[in-house]
Amino acid sequence: MKLPTPLIELEKLRVDFGGSGGRRVRAVRDVDLTIYQGETLGLVGESGCGKSTLGRATVRVTEPTGGTIRYLGADITTLRGAHFRQTRAELQMVFQDPFGSLNPRRTVADIVAEPLLRARRTPRPEARRIVDDLLDQVGLGREAGTRRPHEFSGGQRQRIGIARALAPAPTFVVADEPVSALDVSIQAQVINLLADLIRERGLTMLFISHDLGVVRHIADRIAVMYLGEIIEIASRDDFFAGPAHPYGEALLSSVPTLSRQPRRERIELTGDLPDPAAPPAGCTFHTRCRYAVDRCRTEAPALTEVAAGRQVRCHFPLLPVKGPA
Amino acid sequence: MSGETLLEIRGLTVGFDVPAGRLPAVAGVDLSLRRGEILALVGESGSGKSALSMSLVGLNRGPGAHIGGEVLFHGRDLVTAGERELRGVRGKDIAVVFQDSLAALNPTQRIGDQVAEMIRAHRKVTRGQAGRRAEELLGEVGIAGPAQAARAYPHQLSGGMRQRVMIAIGLANDPAVLIADEPTTALDVTIQAQVLRLLTKLQSEHGTAIVLITHDLGVVAEVADRVAVMYAGRIIEQGTRDEVLFDPQHPYTMGLLSSVPRVDGPAVARLPAIAGNPLTGVARPAGCAFAPRCPFAHDACRAEMPPLRRRYGGTAHVDRCVLDDAARTRARGALEVLAP
Ligand SMILES: Nc1ncnc2c1ncn2[C@@H]1O[C@H](COP(=O)(O)OP(=O)(O)OP(=O)(O)O)[C@@H](O)[C@H]1O
Ligand SMILES: Nc1ncnc2c1ncn2[C@@H]1O[C@H](COP(=O)(O)OP(=O)(O)OP(=O)(O)O)[C@@H](O)[C@H]1O
Ligand code: SF4
Ligand SMILES: [Mg+2]
Ligand SMILES: [Mg+2]
């Protein structure tokens, strides 16, 4: 392995939402995270834990409340105007809600071409060619370019979003559930396409997904989030060999599998679901953790390195007995 | 599973006018749904699953949309039923949980009010009662702090929270038939397990019949009683869970099963995908719609559309493929479809 170069560095990144009825949600709570050039970091976690918000803030689709974002060493947290326009073209996002993020009045070709024309200032004929090629590559076919988003199925819309994000040849893409609406065969095609781009163009990706099978196939490292915080970071193989955080353990045990026999040992998460506007004291997972003891209810664990390249936020990390020396 | 038939779909077609002509989104589907069963509808993206489910309660009527065939529910044909009659059925007898929550929820109304409104549309309850029931439903689908969350607007919720709001709306009136279009795609697997438990509880305790549209074959394996696989507007294979998932007969189904990325077993560098693109235009080939992508296609496949009927496999197992038993066995081997 080459010595990894950081592409994106998040430092104490924070996003607060002032919600209805005095409900202030700290969606992203002081996240420190480094994403290295050419890697795919898989981001998983409970629904509502802040994955999309973290992804959006990283490319400044949502403005962070605090902290810093560095891109190739330069602070881009408050960059504006023409400087930011250039950077914007390099940092792209595939949105989780394909329909909500596609302008219903424009044709698919216009939607996909937009970041090329606006941020990259690509001449129209060349943009046209790039768009046609991308529509073919994502399996929609170039003819789809003349139609409008509402005429497409959920999975087809999702591919429009992927084509749009890839159009300006970005260096970094936040892909928020990019294949969740695709049947497994088209999903395999799109994942293989992304894998090719990663290899050929050195694309770096933050890949958000609930599908652990997909994450296992595309990600080099895995980050797990819970209530606005990163609670585990591990290499792909380490994570799938056995998560070190009790939440990760429950997550992996709940993956529905294609087997004739109904599921064996699933760790059911019981206990109170924490309200993101009022996170529990101590370890935020203690209300549902099957290993919790008194210390967990009062003292918040820090994200701690427990093995090479592996960090966990738990007082009692679950580690293999014969761990690396 | 020998409940009475609740919903009988016969020769259903849905066509959309597009610049190039009429797109056959659903090209003749026969399907019956029994009380208390979970039928999984799987298939290619764009194969007509959502169009089919929306047409059952007339949700995609409109200029440029053409719906034909019959949907029989308690002796009534919902395809020809008037809008007034449908409004009485929708959300009460037959509820649909939509795939796209951001498009389906009203952005300017608090989510608690949207759930309560569905309750009040079909029941004589006070505003307060409906509001309390709405909060209860939000809690049942696993939304934390339901009383607080009820006051939020859709854009203030995460994708998975919105999806659960859609499920809560679907369950609001204890429907006899629930059509859930990708209800758990935006949910992490622990909350997904909770929602699936809720669905199976409805099925066993209330006899609710559920059509579960999903791409997740693991979910299908966990909860479905029967499975129908769609390709290009038609059902190409149908049978019990065990028949379809563990003894697939159609090469498209075999291809799907071999493409599933798994969390166990060896990690592969490249996922097996079915080569070629699905049909998206208005034109359809004369024979089997899958022939242009099928690695096992030969001349007989291109001659005419194979009818949906029992050929090999279990007694309830039907498919649309001309291959003989030996060729199917070879195909399963070539695609390395996991042995049961
Ligand atoms: N615009 C907003 N206004 C107020 N609160 C918001 C807003 N966007 C998100 N939130 C809240 O922030 C929290 C995190 O939401 P986010 O969408 O990042 O979750 P997520 O991890 O992506 O979930 P999912 O897996 O369901 O997509 C949630 O509690 C959500 O309600
Ligand atoms: N309003 C519309 N106008 C024109 N074409 C449409 C319209 N709605 C759907 N279609 C087309 O009909 C076909 C079936 O779409 P449908 O949404 O039913 O697919 P689906 O099976 O639900 O796919 P997915 O799994 O991606 O959600 C697609 O080719 C789609 O492009
Ligand atoms: S710190 Fe305690 S409560 Fe939190 S995950 Fe670890 S064992 Fe469970
Ligand atoms: Mg999200
Ligand atoms: Mg659909």
Domain ranges of chain B: 101-174, 243-335
Tell whether A181 is within 8 A of chain B (Cβ): yes
The model carries a pTM of: 0.90
Q: Is the CB of A180 under 6 A from ligand 1?
A: no
pLDDT value for B244: 97
Nearest chain B alpha carbon to A144: B280
- Other beta carbons within 10 angstroms of residue B75's beta carbon come to 5
Ligand 3 centroid to A280 CA: how many Å?
Answer: 12
pLDDT at B1: 47
Query: B43 at the A interface (CB within 8 A)?
Result: yes
From the list B145, B190, B222, the residue facing A269 with the nearest CB is: B190
Residue of chain A whose alpha carbon sits nearest to that of B111: A20
Give, using CA atoms, the residue closest to atom 6 of ligand 3: A314
Chain B: closest CA distance from residue A74 (Å): 30
Interface contact A210-B338, CB threshold 8 A: no
- CB of A159 sitting under 6 A from ligand 1: no
Q: Determine, for residues A140 and B280 on separate chains, whether the beta-carbon distance falls below 8 Å.
A: yes
**Of residues A44, A147, A184, nearest to B217 (C-beta):** A184
Among the bound ligands, name the one nearest to the CA of residue B17.
2
Residue A21: predicted pLDDT: 56
- Cβ atoms within 10 Å, residue B60: 18
Q: Which residue of A has its CA nearest to B52?
A: A153
Q: Is the C-beta atom of A257 inside 6 A of ligand 1?
A: no
pLDDT recorded at residue A3: 66
Q: What share of chain A is helix, strand, coil (3-state, %, to 5)?
A: 35, 25, 45
Q: What are phi and psi of A227, to 5 degrees?
A: 45, 50
The whole-number pLDDT of residue A20 equals 57
Residue partners of B132: CB distance under 8 A and separation at least 6: none
3-state secondary structure of A198: helix
Using a CB–CB cutoff of 8 Å, tell me whether A304 touches chain B.
no
Q: Does B213 touch chain A (CB under 8 A)?
A: no
Interface residue B109 vs chain A (CB under 8 A): no
Ligand 3, atom nearest to A317 Cα: 6
* Paired tokens of A120: 């990259």
d(CA B157, CA B160): 8
**What are the beta bridge partners of residue A226?**
A229
- Rounded to the nearest angstrom, the gap between the alpha carbon of residue A57 and the centroid of all alpha carbons in its chain is 11
Residue whose Cα lies nearest atom 3 of ligand 3: it is A286
Flag if A254 and B274 touch (Cβ within 8 Å).
no
- A6-90+170-312 architecture in CATH? 3-Layer(aba) Sandwich (3.40)
CB < 8 Å from A in window 302-321 of B: none
Mutate which of B13, B50, B54 for ligand 2? The one with the most ligand atoms within 8 Å of its CB, which is B50
pLDDT for position A323: 43
Q: Does A254 touch chain B (CB under 8 A)?
A: yes
Ligand 4 center–CA A55 separation, angstroms = 9
For the Cβ of B312 lying below 6 angstroms from any atom of ligand 2, the answer is: no
Question: Is residue B155 in contact with ligand 1, taking CB distance under 6 Å?
Answer: yes
Q: Which tokens is A158 given?
A: 């999702």
Which residues are within 8 A (CB) of B124 and not within 5 positions of it... i.e. 6 or more apart?
A: none
- Closest ligand 3 atom number to CA of residue A245: 5
Contacts of residue A284, defined as CB under 8 A and 6 or more positions apart, other chains included, come to: A226, A227, A229, A274, A300
CB atoms within 10 A of CB B74: 10
DSSP string, B84-150: HHHHHHBTTTEEEE-S-HHHHS-TTS-HHHHHHHHHHHHS---HHHHHHHHHHHHHHTT-SSHHHHT
Looking at ligand 3, which atom is closest to the CA of residue A301?
1
Query: How many Cβ atoms sit within 10 Å of the Cβ of residue A126?
Result: 11
pLDDT averaged per 10 residues in sequence order, chain A, 325 residues: 84 87 83 96 94 97 96 94 86 86 91 90 93 90 90 86 93 94 86 86 94 94 97 96 95 89 72 79 94 96 94 92 46
Residue stretches of chain B with pLDDT short of 50: 1, 339-340
CB contact under 8 A, B261 and A96: no
